[in-house]
Amino acid sequence: MGNNFSHITNSCKVDNEGSSIYSTIYSDEELLFSEEEIKQYVLKLILKDDILSRIVNHFHVQPKKLRSKHNRPTNEKLWNSGWGEMMSEIENELRADNGQESNTKAQKLFRLRFRVPFSMFSEIVEECKQSNIFGRTIIGVEFKVLGCLRILGRNHVGDDVVEHLKIGGRTVNNMFKTFLKKFADTYYSKYVYVPVGTEMDDVVKDYTRMV
């Protein structure tokens, strides 16, 4: 099958605002081309001209790659975990006792598992929030601090925290390294210093009893 088609000009104009292409096409009915010849000519024309690539580059935007969320625990799920239920129970006890810590089963278990009293844990959490130690985070700061304390206090590996909180191993490793570096840099001088005066006397007495 033939076509009365002779020449296609390379005169094209791009309207970036209207996202349009203006082309001029001429036809010479005295010449006869096959469809295959027309396809080859158009292909050469497209390859020769960079208008098409300019348009594609101008309007084509690479889609943003999103991380999978199907394994991300929500804070609601974390608060329903064993650690979350323990914190909620202790907070209820402290409210009932006007903030006074005691030797209830939950508070003793907390000190055993994380090696600090709940009041100190709460102070660390607040300091992490104030100084934005963990940055933008989906996982509650409370649970990140618990995970770090569990590794430090019980000499556990990161996978133990993964098992308890059902979060990724890489997340645990990153939060632990972040906590060690940023918390130490921010609060070192607050907790590590040479005692003076009566405080030094008390320290000397404590060490004297150990001898």
Concatenating the DSSP letter of every residue in 180-203 gives IIIIHHHHHHHHS----HHHHHHH
- pTM (2 decimals)? 0.60
Cα pseudo-dihedral 161, 120, 92, 114, rounded to 10: 30
Tell me which residue of 38, 3, 150 sits closest to 159, measured CA to CA: 150
Amino acid at the residue 19: S
List per-block mean pLDDT (blocks of 10 residues) for the chain, which spans 211 residues: 47 55 53 70 64 59 54 76 94 93 95 95 96 92 96 90 91 94 93 90 90 77
- Give the number of other Cβ atoms within 10 Å of residue 62's Cβ: 5
> pLDDT, tens digit, for every residue of 70-93?
455 667 889 999 999 999 999 999
Residue 52 CA to residue 208 CA, distance in Å, equals: 85
